[in-house]
Amino acid sequence: MSYKVITICNQKGGVGKTTTAVNLAASLAHRNRKVLLIDIDPQGNATMGSGVDKNNFEFGVYHLLVGEADAKTAIIHSETGHYDVISSNRDLTGVEIELMQRPAREMCLRDAIASVRDEYDFILIDCPPTLSLLMLNGLAAADSVLIPMVCEYYALEGISDLLATIKRVRQTINPTLDITGVMFTMFTTQNKLSQDVSAQLRNYFGQRVFNTTIPRNVRLAEAPSHGMPALAYDPKAKGTQAYLALADEFLSVKLPASSLGYLKTVLR
């Protein structure tokens, strides 16, 4: 993977964004990459899932965005995930109003992490599900977007909203934003609808669909309540192994020097 800052985004809740952010971060760390995970969802699920208490940290994304802390100060090490985290919690909800008056308010995150960019192999950003100033900050800071999807009928609707957003972001605040790829979570092969939808998506996104699919696996859902990525909670679980395989595929992906032609077709 030639991109460093990857935003995990889908304008739909419950599609596995946070589960992917946490477990991809842990899997990449397991493969000896230095990873920073930034949780920009006020729900703070990625924070908790990394073993950081969202109600008990000093500086997080909120402080970063309003300029009360620099990135170095806000970084906390995840002991269970072996990667670094910039945390979030409910405080982040109010940040939209505070940033409203600022010029270049979509660029706050990008500017704030510039100082630590060189220290990591990958910086993953876990996005909230709603199109908001927070999500725009996540997309402005990114080199590329990773899109987790559940293969159900409404997934196709959700994706067209996201593609419209990516298109607008490319026309305005981040002209070089690329699409890393689409990946399927909570995947069941027995289901005909799931097969049909995944075939349609593979047809639409072509090569940029990860071959690795993440199965529905209860261990992935249990791990966050123990404050750990699945790799620490149950390394042998099917879901854990799937995220490791995803990380290996992610590391091996070679995107072409220019994605312009590709994006023109996909973002039409």
Residue 262 CB neighbour total at 10 angstroms: 17
Show Cβ contacts of residue 148 under 8 Å, excluding neighbours closer than 6 positions: 8, 10, 15, 16, 17, 20, 182, 183, 184, 185
Q: Provide the minimum distance between the beta carbon of 173 and ligand ADP in the complex, in angstroms, as a whole number.
A: 23
Tokens of residue 100, six digits: 């409203």
Rounded Cα–Cα distance for residues 91 and 67 (Å): 14
For Mg ion, give the closer residue by CB, 39 or 178.
39
Residues numbered 40-99 forming contacts with Mg ion, rule: CB under 5 A: 45
Q: What is the dihedral of CA 148, 135, 266, 12, to 10 degrees?
A: 40
* Count of chain residues binding ligand ADP (CB under 6 A): 17
Tokens of residue 193, six digits: 């609808």
The values of phi and psi at residue 77, to 5°, are -90, 130
Residues numbered 11-40 forming contacts with ligand ADP, rule: CB under 6 A: 13-19
Q: Which does 19 bind (CB under 5 to 8 A by kind): Mg ion, ligand ADP, none?
A: ligand ADP
Q: Provide the minimum distance between the beta carbon of 4 and Mg ion in the complex, in angstroms, as a whole number.
A: 22
**Segment near Mg ion (CB under 5 A); pick from 12-20, 204-212, 230-238, 259-267:** 12-20
Residues numbered 109-138 forming contacts with ligand ADP, rule: CB under 6 A: 129
> Using alpha carbons only, what angle is made at residue 200 by residues 177 and 15, rounded to the nearest 5 degrees?
60
For ligand ADP, give the closer residue by CB, 174 or 212.
212
- From the list 11, 18, 20, 213, which residue makes contact with Mg ion (rule: CB under 5 A)? 18
Which residues here bind Mg ion, judged by CB under 5 A? 17-18, 45
Which residues here bind ligand ADP, judged by CB under 6 A? 13-19, 45, 129, 185-186, 214, 216-217, 220-221, 239
